[in-house]
């Protein structure tokens, strides 16, 4: 087991998120004080310049990011997730918002994305890459289905650097969040898993390196809300045109 590959993690994550699906949205917004909504808008803003028509949202959960990305007016958004119950909650939200002609929810694995090569203009992941059983394999398959010149944007929790805020954050994450999460979700492990998974995640430059190893180029990052979360983005390199030699 390493921070990049954890055998058996996929089944654990799938069961956990299926169990908490009915209360997931409520907990998400309450425990983040609604700041997660602003973070998703930052993802959308990073995609606005490229005007993507085909978007894949990996680890979509109940579809909050997919719904935000619908404001970009794409032709199609696919929300992919391994937790069927999360997708069911998301499907109902999408229907109520009359976005079901744009957003399609698909049950599937990030390590085996069920789409052909070069299928999407943009790929997003919000709070999902740290749940990948095999980080490299997941990033590599995202790179495969992204079109050359397309952009990937990852939003993930990170750890603050400032001493005082870091202490407050760690106290909240370790003691307050798990208790409240357990009381509301009725799940013993879900909100203990969250701080554990964040503490073990390869963040910052280390994660940018993993994106580059997977084949992405121009990888960059931006820390949000004093480092509670970080945006990472990169592109898939376009094939280089062969150099034409003039005949002498």
The DSSP line for 62-83 is: TSHHHHHHGGG--SEEEEEES-
* CATH 3.40.50.150 corresponds to the domain 9-159+202-236: yes
Stronger pLDDT, 237 or 7, i.e. the higher one: 237
pLDDT band of 143, cuts 50, 70, 90: very high
Beta-strand pair 229-236/216-224: antiparallel
How confident is the model over 152-162, as a mean pLDDT? 93
Phi and psi torsions of 126, nearest 5°: -115, 115
DSSP H stretches of helix in 110-204: 135-145, 163-171, 177-185, 190-200
pLDDT at 170: 86
pLDDT at 79: 98
Q: 4: buried, middle or exposed (CB in 10 Å: 19+, 13-18, 0-12)? A: middle
Stronger pLDDT, 173 or 131, i.e. the higher one: 131
SS3 per-residue string spanning 181-216: HHHHHCCCCHHHHHHHHHHHCCCCHHHHHHHHHCCE
pLDDT at 158: 92
Q: Of 155, 203, 195, nearest to 179 (Cα)?
A: 195
pTM (global) more than 0.75: yes
pLDDT at 28: 79
Stronger pLDDT, 142 or 31, i.e. the higher one: 142
Q: How is the chain split into domains, by residue range?
A: 9-159+202-236
């Amino acid at each position: 087991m390493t921070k990049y590959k954890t055998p058996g993690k996929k089944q654990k994550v799938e069961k956990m998120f299926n169990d908490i699906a009915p209360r997931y949205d409520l907990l998400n917004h309450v425990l983040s004080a609604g700041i997660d909504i602003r973070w998703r808008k930052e993802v959308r803003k990073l995609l606005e310049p490229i005007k993507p028509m085909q978007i894949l949202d990996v680890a979509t959960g109940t579809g909050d990011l997919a719904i935000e990305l619908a404001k970009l007016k794409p032709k199609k958004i696919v929300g992919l997730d391994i937790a069927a119950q999360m997708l069911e909650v998301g499907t109902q939200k999408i229907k109520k918002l009359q976005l079901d002609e744009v957003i399609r929810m698909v049950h599937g694995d990030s390590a085996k994305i069920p789409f052909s090569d070069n299928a999407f203009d943009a790929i997003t992941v919000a709070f999902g890459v740290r749940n990948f059983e095999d980080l490299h394999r997941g990033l590599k398959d995202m790179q495969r289905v992204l079109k050359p010149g397309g952009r990937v944007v990852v939003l993930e929790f990170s750890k603050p650097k400032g001493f005082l805020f870091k202490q407050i954050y760690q106290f909240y994450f370790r003691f307050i969040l798990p208790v409240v999460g357990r009381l509301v979700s009725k799940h013993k492990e879900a909100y203990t898993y969250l701080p554990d998974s964040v503490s073990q995640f390869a963040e910052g430059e280390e994660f940018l390196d993993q994106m580059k190893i997977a084949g992405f180029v121009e990888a960059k990052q931006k820390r949000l809300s004093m480092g509670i979360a970080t945006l990472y983005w990169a592109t898939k390199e376009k094939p280089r045109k062969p150099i034409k030699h003039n005949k002498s």
